[in-house]
Amino acid sequence: MSLQEYFHFIIIPILGLSVILVFIRFVKGPSLADRVIALDMLILISICIIAVYSIMFNQSTFLDIAMLFALIAFLSTTAYAFYLEKRERK
Amino acid sequence: MRDIIIMISSTIGVLFIFSTSLAMLRKPDVYLRISVTSKASTLGVGLILLATAIFFNEYSVTTRVIAVILFVFLTVPIGSHMLARAAYFTKTPIWGGTKIDDLAGQYDPETHELHSENRNSSIKPEKTDKAS
């Protein structure tokens, strides 16, 4: 089994399954903090998917987008936490 | 040989990611979910990116991978701590099976300061049922 086949048939399905599991929590989540942490987890999984695709298609330029996603994940989590706290204080 | 190392590293990383997302669905409480996400998922992302760095074996790719890993390892604990603090201030309910809550009543509701003495008079989230 070559590396491409292994990634295509084993790694990508497990990652897709975990995206579905996190998305169920994103839809279901009782509080707002649940949804924010599910969004953070979705972005982290998408970084993994980008890294796996860059191995499968042998293109290292995809990793720039992964770097951008890591930035956006931190920014969105911090902004949501800040405004959640601000809304309570009012 | 290099293929086997890449396979092992990416498999362990993917298993960490999968167990984290399973825990996101199964854990009964916001605080437990935040704790799980900040611990296990950073290791999973780090291992998969390490597999990418071994596969390409170039300086330009390796520096990018190290930058992403450092950034994720630095920022995910900070972000999840901020989120847990905000969830505590908005009085998100705690799981009923929690034994000790050291923060109960220690935060000032106006200024959001933390008191170290026994105060026991301000923010205190309610407990939910053990079943849910």
pLDDT for B54-64, tens place per residue? 999 899 999 99
CA pair distance B95, B98, nearest whole angstrom: 6
- Mean per-residue pLDDT over chain A, rounded: 90
Amino acid at site B103: L
- Would you list the domain boundaries of chain A? 3-89
* Beta bridge partner(s), residue B114: B107
Query: Which of B29, B81, B32 has the alpha carbon at shortest distance from A74?
Result: B81
CA pair distance A2, B87, nearest whole angstrom: 46
The reported pLDDT for the residue numbered B120 is 67
Write out chain B residues lying below 8 Å of A62, CB-based: none
* Beta bridge partner(s), residue B94: B127
- The CA-based angle B18-A71-B40, given to 5 degrees, is 25
Write out chain A residues lying below 8 Å of B82, CB-based: 77-78, 81-82
Q: Does A85 touch chain B (CB under 8 A)?
A: yes
First to last CA, chain B: 48
CA pair distance B64, B70, nearest whole angstrom: 10
CA pair distance B99, A86, nearest whole angstrom: 29
Query: Which of A57, A10, A76 has the alpha carbon at shortest distance from B18?
Result: A10
Q: Does A24 touch chain B (CB under 8 A)?
A: yes
Question: Does residue A18 register a pLDDT over 80?
Answer: yes
Q: Distance (Å) from the C-alpha of residue B117 to the closest C-alpha of chain A?
A: 23
CA pair distance B29, B24, nearest whole angstrom: 9
Residue identified by tokens 């204080």 is A89
Q: Taking the model in full, what pTM does it have?
A: 0.89
From first to last of its 132 residues, chain B has per-residue pLDDT tens of 889 999 999 999 999 999 999 999 998 888 999 998 888 888 999 999 999 999 998 999 999 999 999 999 999 999 999 999 888 888 888 888 888 877 777 777 777 777 777 766 667 777 776 654
* Beta bridge partner(s), residue B127: B94
- Would you list the domain boundaries of chain B? 2-79
Q: Does B112 touch chain A (CB under 8 A)?
A: yes
List pLDDT tens digits, range A25-65.
999 878 888 999 999 999 999 999 999 999 999 998 999 99
CA dihedral over B79, B84, B89, B91, signed as positive or negative: positive
CA pair distance B51, A78, nearest whole angstrom: 29
Question: Does residue A90 register a pLDDT over 90?
Answer: no
The reported pLDDT for the residue numbered B130 is 62
Of A31, A41, A81, the CB nearest to B82: A81
Of B37, B44, B92, the CB nearest to A48: B44
Place A89 in a pLDDT band, splitting at 50, 70 and 90: low
Q: Inter-chain contact B14–A15, Cβ cutoff 8 Å?
A: yes
